[in-house]
Structure 1
Amino acid sequence: MSGTQDGKEQEQAVPSEAKLSRFPPRRQFFAFAVVGCFLLCACGMTTVRAGAWIAGILSGESSATSEVKRAAAYPWPSNSASLTVAVSPSVAESLRERAGKFNGLRLRTPDGEMMQVEMVTRSSSEIVAESLQQPGFQAVVPDSSLWLDLIEVRWATLFPTESGTLTASRVGQTTLFAVSPVVIAVQLNAAQQLGWPHQSIGWQEVHTRAAAPSTNFSWGHPSPESISGIAATLSKFHAGAGITRGLTTEIATRADVVDYVRQAERAAIVLGANGRSHAEPMQGERGANGEEGKVKGPLDAFVTQEQAVIAWNRSSDRGLSWLSGEGKAGPVFPNGQLVAIYPKEGTLWADYPFALLELDGRAGPAVTRNQRSTYRAFTRFLLSEDSQYALLEAGFRPVDLTIDLMAEPSPFAETGIVDPLSPQTLLTLPPQPVLEIVMDAWRLSMPPVNVMLVVDTSDSMKGSKLSGAKIALQGFVDQMQGDGDRIGLVEFGSGVKQFGSLHMLDAEGRGHVLYMIESMQAGGSTRLIDALWAAQSELTDLVDSEATYAIVVLTDGRDNDSEYRLRDLQRAIQGGQNQVFVHTVAFGRDADAGLLEDLARIGKGRFYRADETTIEEIYRQIATSIQMTE
């Protein structure tokens, strides 16, 4: 079928690619049953909304880079047939390859517009956050249907309806095209020491091995910003309570369970969406391997998806970003074979829902009729025989149950390191209140945080800049939830306008900090170094060896009136009693990026660029980074 044929015909059947190698069409009942049972559950899951418990995850999520790049709401033409899809990092490469093949077919809509599909990589938090605004994409593929549930819950909160009326949906048609179970990827020799392949291994064995003082076993997992992180964190509560099902609020908050989870969190490398962990040195520090900004390693085990294990063993990628599906933390496994362990207590699945967003034109262009046609055509293409085999070759499990996972040359038939008959047991998600506790588990192992917020309110910050900064700062304060966390504030212009010493974030202290933020007013010049001097003086000589100390500075201009110099500040920060990390935010194009980069280097922190559309996300990212730093 050529690209010039009638569009209606082309929507009815997507042409097949040239048929290359094919797997034998033999069936294996048990392998089908494993995937089939999951797909039945997944289909039901997409219609049952998980609830607001996931909303808390957003406060700990961030971009993989120091410069957050939102998809701009480009005013695409009303007849556009180009579909932009925001995809999870762990499936992005495979979907880009499929999109290239699809675009090569040169299909057209009934009115003659060329169908094109483009992929943009986004973390789950970015997919959710941007979907609630006016994104530059029209469809999404997160790693789990749970994120679609979150979009719907938050959309209903943003646009409530009267009682008895139907709630407008933000998520439209949804299709599953591939799945992959969450596994524990273990180095071959470490797996054998755990008892593989002769005995079943579970989360409990991994926790016990990592906590044992006589062994040198290290493991890690993503934070609960991905389906892999949710599974790993839930397992700690189950292990601490000695159960595999039925976690309740009473059990999850029991002193012995909380203590177990706290120790288990400290025994693991927990990575956030930006690929950083509380066990990882800040930018500029040297890790155990002598490399800058890397996780101290190597690890013996890491929680990820089955597909990542297959890719690793094929030498497709040696980076942790592939294994975690997030970030750029660098390699944590030495070269060598990994084994996929399917925890005997149960696990979760990544189901990769391909969903069309119902952009209704409230804040930007609506999804066009032609884009809907492209979505349907690409959906059929992903479910075609060619695509299902291509996804299988990449290590995913296809949703086409007629495909034999154990027939050559399927990656599941190559070795015994992955098992198409597993997992035998699925973890069940507890009720909303319990999951809120689980999602906040990483805080149990975090030291208290002392943060000074340094804010430029010079004359150039008037108007929307200052309004946006206030919202971002208020969000930062809200995100700090540790029992011992303290925040202070330095507002500056021609001098220090407000100086708020560190306040414990109880109800009174939190209210005081928020009041100071709200009362900020623009005016004056920019005495940046002097303001930083005041902030570091508050932190450097405090006596609390367990705490984390940080300064977060925002400016939109250049230092033009300070009495202190950069070298004075450097001596004070590097010579003080406490290690003070300095994170800097260049707000707009006129900020002195060179100076701010130097300050971040001196303070072993990070430099960020922000504008009025990204400032809130930047401060969420900084808050997470600070809280996960030891």
Structure 2
Amino acid sequence: MAVPVVLVAALVIVGLRVLTRPSVSAPDVQRPSPLPAYSGTCATIVVAASADSFALLTDLAGEYTRQTNCARVSVLPEDSGDVEQALARGWDERVDGVFPDVWLPAASSWVELAHEHTPALVPPPASVPSIAKTPLVIAMPVPMAQALGWPKHPVGWSELRALARDPRGWGRYGHAEWGPFRMGKTNPTVSTSGLHATVAAFAAAGGHTAALTAADVDDPRAQEYVRDLEYSAVHYGTIVQTFLDNLQKADDAGDALGYVSAAAVPEKSVWGYNRGDLRSTSSTAPPAHLPPRVKLAAIHPREGTLYADQPYVVLAGNRTDEAKQAVASHFLRYLLSEPVQERFRDVAFRDARGAAGPVIKDDPLLTVGSPKALPVPPAAVLDRVTNAWLSALRKRARVLVLLDVSGSMNNIVPGTGQTRLQLAKQATRQALELFAPDDDVGLWTFTTASDGRPVHEEVAPIAAIGPRLAGLKNRIDHLATGNDTPLYQVTDDAVRQVRDTYDPDRINAVVLVTDGRQDPPDDAALLRLRGTLTADAARQAPVRVFSIGYAEADEAALKSISDDSQGSYYPASDPATIEKVLRGVVSNF
């Protein structure tokens, strides 16, 4: 039987992509030379590291621990803004986790804020060394960057703002098929990329190259400029990884130009995305994924940008002793040694001096233009930037919270004396306080009726939360558990409800909190839900699902639901962490 020509072509393309997959042989990584023997008291230090450096630091900490055989380093992933806020609150280990001996935020911006808020714990920024650097760039699919004139003409925030304001969208450049301009940008209250992008936009609005002042942030024209950019956001979040993961999935599906038009990310993340490995710790290691069909250009904004300089902060106070401080000092010497600095350059960081290695210098998608550095504003101005963003500038939300009240939510959480539902109710009440008064928020609970039918209760319709906050929190107090978990049908109903009342000027989303799996099984409901999430209507009116896998939830199903909607999945396998996880989810809005 003859094989159709289209099928032959498809098989050839697949074959070429398989044949061109990088070798999976073991990487030939040059290991750093051992440091002089550690002579201090044996101790273990905890390092809280941002997402930018976490993967490499985890490898380096393991190697360092093996070399010293006495001094030990444990690296934990922590968002920079979360650590700063936890320090300012007094660090409650029940909520915030283990107190770190060393904090490695992505940038000195957070040290500015933390020193201002907790000077007894955090030293002044000028005294804190940097272990590596990476500038913020505008990452844009190459065809879109070329449509703006890149690389021949410099591109910056002003070009993006003009595109965001134009009702023709990409039709402005002859590409109406690309739709409106869509920006991927993280939340500046917790994310370095989001904070630096907001500061850089304010600087671009006023044409500033010196550090921003309070007057610059308060200028109504500057705020209008920044607001125009913010209203192109698809949603926010805590890490740029969310946007790059979703972009990678869109590229796999042949729709790389249909998700986001640009994203504010570290330069090194563009290198990782383009090679197919967003978490790489070596340029010679085989990528975890095939390189994308449509690569990203790292655009250095012509108006200037800020650097994530990876400061090494040894926290003071009575929580860390002399032995731990000695290990922290020795580990810093190790990180600044030349063999280790080469490891940073090898994964597209610039080193502690700001020097780029071959992976940057030899890549035309990274080296077009030179980053013009903007200074970090003082803490009072950074606070003013984030407060302005929260109160007046960020894109508003239209969110339906979907809370599982099935029978398993009545299980007691070990060590707390409370049920899963009690912890979830407490976390939901606190999360609602994070929304702005004019954000539209609704709440449904869901379970099954006595006859097994899926049911949901509208605890509150989607409407401005400000006037209703106290009453809604009171109604949450009185929620009770029910029967089974009709996960697929009720999520489908919720997405359709938000889409039927879609507001293009807001972030439209469903927040799904569940501790279970579809019960009873219902494959037909799953197919209907996936159809709802991937239909043409989803492209015109995207409703993103941000799911929380609480306790023993069906992680695979929740990841699939969030992936199909280009949202994000958040694990909370330890029910005691639900408050922190829900805070992270709300950072998307």
Tell me which interval the TM-score lies in, with the shorter structure as reference length.
Answer: 0.5 to 0.7
Deviation (angstroms), 1:204? 1.8
Count how many residue pairs are aligned between Structure 1 and Structure 2.
Answer: 510
Q: How does 1:8-47 map to 2 (within 5 A)?
A: 8=39
Name the CA distance, whole Å, in 1 between partners of 2:544 and 2:352.
48
Instruction: Report matched runs for 1:221-236 at 5 Å.
Output: 221-223=184-186, 224=188, 225-236=190-201
- What do residues 113-139 of structure 1 show as CA deviations (whole Å, max 9, x unaligned)? x12334444433554577634344532
Correspondences of 1:527-538 after superposition (within 5 Å): 527-529=484-486, 536=493
Whether 2:467 is the aligned partner of 1:526: answer no
Change (3 A) 1:207 1:127: same
Q: Aligned partner of 1:92: which letter?
A: F
- Which residue is 2:308 aligned to? 350
Residue 48 of structure 2 aligns to which amino acid in structure 1?
A
- Out of 471, 476, 499, the residue aligned to residue 426 of structure 2 is 471
User: 2:433 is aligned with what amino acid?
Assistant: D
> Are positions 1:141 and 2:104 aligned together?
yes
Give the alignment partner of residue 550 of structure 1, picking from 499, 510, 513.
510
Between the aligned partners of 2:200 and 2:477, the Cα distance in structure 1 is: 41
In the alignment, is the contact (CA less than 8 A) between 1:269 and 1:278 conserved in 2?
A: no
Query: Structure 1 pair 441/295, CA: closer, same or farther in 2 (3 Å)?
Result: farther
Cα deviation for residue 527 of structure 1 reads 4.7
Q: 1:336 to 1:618 in 2, by over 3 A?
A: closer
Q: Separation in 2 of the partners of 1:583 and 1:339?
A: 28
Q: Which residue of 1 aligns with 2:161?
A: 207
Equivalent pair of 2:55/2:279 in contact (CA under 8 Å): no
C-alpha offsets along residues 294-344 of structure 1, whole Å, 9 cap, x if unaligned?
883585x543334455x459x7x3356789xxxx99999646684552x34
Aligned counterpart for 1:490 among listed residues 423, 442, 445: 445
Is 1:436 aligned with 2:386?
yes
For the 8 Å contact 2:246–2:563, the answer to whether it is kept is no
Contiguous gaps of at least 5 residues in structure 1: 12-78, 109-113, 157-166, 361-365
- How far apart, in 2, do the equivalents of 1:189 and 1:596 lie? 33
The one-letter code of the counterpart of 2:475 is: M
Q: 1:448 to 1:139 in 2, by over 3 A?
A: same
Q: Which whole-Å CA distance do the structure 2 matches of 1:287 and 1:489 have between them?
A: 30
CA distance in 1, matches of 2:488, 2:56: 49
For 1:382, which of 332, 335, 347 is the aligned residue?
Answer: 335
SS of residue matched to 1:387 = helix
Partners in 1 of 2:353 and 2:460 — Cα distance? 61
Do residues 88 (structure 1) and 50 (structure 2) align?
A: yes
CA RMSD of aligned residues (A): 5.5
Matched, 1:448 2:394: no
Counterpart-to-counterpart distance in 1, 2:45 and 2:38: 16
- Aligned counterpart, 2:468: 509
Larger radius of gyration: 1
Q: Residue deviations 1:405-456, cap 9 Å, x none?
A: 59xx766765786389752654646725631245438974445334454435
The CA deviation at 1:144 is 1.0
Distance 1:295 1:321 in 2: 23
2:266 to 291, 298, 305: 305
Instruction: Map residues 295-444 of structure 1 onto 2, 5 A cutoff.
Output: 296=258, 299=261, 302-308=263-269, 311=271, 317-319=275-277, 334=293, 338=297, 340-341=299-300, 343-358=301-316, 360=318, 367=320, 369-399=322-352, 405=355, 414=362, 418=367, 422-423=371-372, 425-426=374-375, 428=377, 431-432=381-382, 434-440=384-390, 444=394
Partner of 1:611: 574
Match of 1:272 among 237, 241, 244: 237
Q: CA deviation at 1:481?
A: 2.2
Task: Evaluate the alpha carbon distance shift between residue 565 and residue 195 of structure 1 in structure 2; reply closer, same or farther with a 3 A threshold.
Answer: closer
Distance (Å, rounded) in 2 between the aligned partners of 1:335 and 1:480: 36
> How much has 1:351 moved relative to structure 2?
1.4
Q: Structure 1 residues 570 and 509, CA, compared in 2 at 3 Å: closer, same or farther?
A: farther
Give the C-alpha shift of residue 352 in structure 1: 0.6
**AA of the residue aligned to 2:459:** G
TM-score by length of 2: 0.65
Contact 1:178–1:352 (Cα < 8 Å) also in 2? yes
CA contact (8 A) 1:539 1:549 kept: no
Offset, 1:353: 1.1
| Structure with the largest fraction of helix | 2
The SS at the match of 1:273 is coil
Q: Which amino acid aligns with 2:71?
A: M
C-alpha contact 2:133 2:307 (8 A) present in aligned 1: yes
Kept in 1, the 8 Å contact 2:120–2:316? The answer is no
Partner Cα distance (2:139, 2:558) in 1: 40
Deviations 1:36-88 (A, max 9, x none): xxxxxxxxxxxxxxxxxxxxxxxxxxxxxxxxxxxxxxxxxxx7523342322
2:80 to 124, 128, 136: 124
Alpha-carbon shift at residue 511 of structure 1 (Å): 0.8
Partner of 2:284: none
**2:441 maps to amino acid:** R
1:603: how far off? Answer: 9.0
SS at match of 2:64: helix
Identity, in percent, stands at 19
Specify every segment of 5 or more residues in structure 2 that has no aligned partner in the other structure, as ranges.
1-32, 282-286
SS of residue matched to 1:470: helix
